[in-house]
Structure 1
């Protein structure tokens, strides 16, 4: 997966040595730890630990869980911290190889002759595109959806160009399959956003950009 803005921010936070120590400690801990336990294990002051824990929590790398045993003062449960399952990726420009793999694996599960594997893959891709559109925080904005998926959209008159291919390396392995999946995803995005009356997605091969463009509907 390519580095989205949130990933870049989180990776930047981990470049701070003390913050990285806290994250590494929590990631390797068998259970959630209190601030005091973190300070003792890392020989770190409470104020400094609290500052870094707050930053890690804001970016979703660490989460707070209540201590069910109620070991805090006057019976209040002490806050415990644990590393989350969030994964980070640092490819620039953004890539979404996990999305392609997800589609192809699902197609392999659903594929039944006489349907070809390519047909199964495009069918699954349309469905996944609709799901991504429906789950986007701003489901009425095509531009924001494409940006969040790493396509780096740009306007060329009324046409939307996708200046980055999220599947660039895999396109070189099997151009026809990868580009057909990408086009099917685009159809799913438009359908999921109810934008098929505004734009039509088609392939326009390009070595530098994504081969999918979205033109104004006739």
Structure 2
């Protein structure tokens, strides 16, 4: 299963920041408007740039994974004497998401869709499936990290801070959904974080619902 959380938010932010340079952004917009991959000479001519300038910025966009690089022989010839394939650029298949404060609505949508589909197929209540799916997803978060609870929560946008022996979460990555569908989304979030703690192991905390204004609905208390 593909994980929309695999790419770190900082990596998405860094990639999008590459487009802040005006010439680079013009080149990116030119490439994504084309049906076929674009070569350096073509891009340079279209935008009135020196070939070396176009090549530099196109490669920078590829390094940031905003563009994919492909190699093709445009002459149609093959075999010996056909020449080297041209280096071409096309829009990357990767998707980028940047939001401040950190939000993960795609993850919520994916979990809810999985719950609805499995419930329809099995007859199990949607909310029961949702809680299980959220816990499984959280366990993958924790299972691929050899980090502290604090670092795991920071990585996924919860803005943790200590409050006595507990940890409160200053940001809810599902804020708008939790505001309008509190019971469903907060229950999902609770099981997501319980799964993350289980996957992390040896953390000394347990996740509980403890809604307070301005905070995430989940709070981590010292384990009994």
Same fold (TM over 0.5): yes
Residue 25 of structure 2, aligned match among 20, 32, 50: 20
* CA apart distance, 1:40: 1.8
1:79 matched to which residue of 2?
Answer: 87
Equivalent residue, structure 1, for 2:192: 185
Partners of 2:65 and 2:94 within 8 A in 1: yes
Q: Which residue of 2 aligns with 1:103?
A: 111
From 205, 210, 215, the equivalent of 2:216 is 210
- Name 2:171's counterpart in structure 1: 164
- After TM superposition, give the deviation of residue 205 of structure 1 in Å: 0.6
Cα contact 2:161–2:167 (8 A) shared by 1: yes
Unaligned runs of at least 5 residues, structure 1: none
Higher relative contact order (CA 8 A, sep 6+): 1
Question: What TM-score do you get using the length of structure 2 for normalisation?
Answer: 0.83
Task: Give the aligned partner of residue 64 of structure 2.
Answer: 59
Q: Which runs of 5+ in 2 are unaligned?
A: none
2:140 corresponds in structure 1 to 131
Alpha-carbon distance in structure 2 between the residues aligned to 1:76 and 1:144: 48
Offset, 1:122: 0.7
Q: What's the secondary structure of 1:124's corresponding residue?
A: helix
| Preserved CA contact (<8 Å) 2:134 2:192 | yes
Aligned length: 213
State how far apart, in whole Å, the 1-side matches of 2:99 and 2:154 are: 15
CA distance in 2, matches of 1:127, 1:190: 11
CA–CA distance in structure 2, aligned partners of residues 76 and 44 of structure 1: 24
The reply on whether 1:194 has 2:194 as its aligned counterpart is no
TM-score by length of 1: 0.85
Listed one character per residue, the Cα deviations across residues 153-193 of structure 1 (whole Å, up to 9, x for unaligned) are 22334433221001111111111111000001001111222
- Distance of 1:59 and 1:208 partners within structure 2: 35
Cα drift, residue 25 of structure 1 = 1.4
- Which structure 2 residues correspond to residues 2-17 of structure 1 after superposition, within 5 A? 4-17=9-22
**Contact 2:67-2:92 within 8 A present in 1 as well:** yes
CA RMSD in angstroms, aligned pairs only: 2.7
